[in-house]
Amino acid sequence: MTNSKSMASDLLYKIGIAADHGGFVLKEKLKMKLHDQGYEVIDFGNTELNLADDYPDYILPLAKAIADGWVSRGIAICGSGVGACIIANKVAKVRACLIHEDFSAHQGVEDDNMNMICLGGRVIDEQLAWTLTTTFLAAKFSALERHVRRLRKVTEIEKNKN
């Protein structure tokens, strides 16, 4: 079995992370752990705890970076994770999901090529957030025909949006 340290070096991911005030503390903890595991982490903010900030100001630039291929995967955190998920999915090529349990953290990548995990800084603890994050980052898209077919349909919907 591969340990986290070698797993991080095997994955050629540049990870983006972003949070508003509701997820700031959790973001800082995850960012440190990711750095400790050898990941390259790009912080899209907020860089300080500001109770008056707004999640779109940080999650949207992260989502655009994923869509543009500047980062491979993203971790978005707000108080519940819901707002982060909503704004991220406004960006074509971003497949973001609110995750609270391990199965979806890997299944979302394996079947749906999820490229952003959304977490609730006020609803899950640091240990669970770390487990979900490492599961998400270790997962790989299966590229099975049925999953590719479904993603093509998603891409067509994105192209036809107003």
Residue 119: is it exposed, middle or buried by C-beta count within 10 angstroms (0-12/13-18/19+)?
buried
- Cα dihedral sign for 70, 24, 140, 39? positive
| Chain Cα centroid distance, residue 35 | 16
CA distance 143 to 116: 18
78 given a catalytic annotation: yes
Residue 10's nearest CA partner among 37, 50, 30 is: 37
Catalytic positions are 78
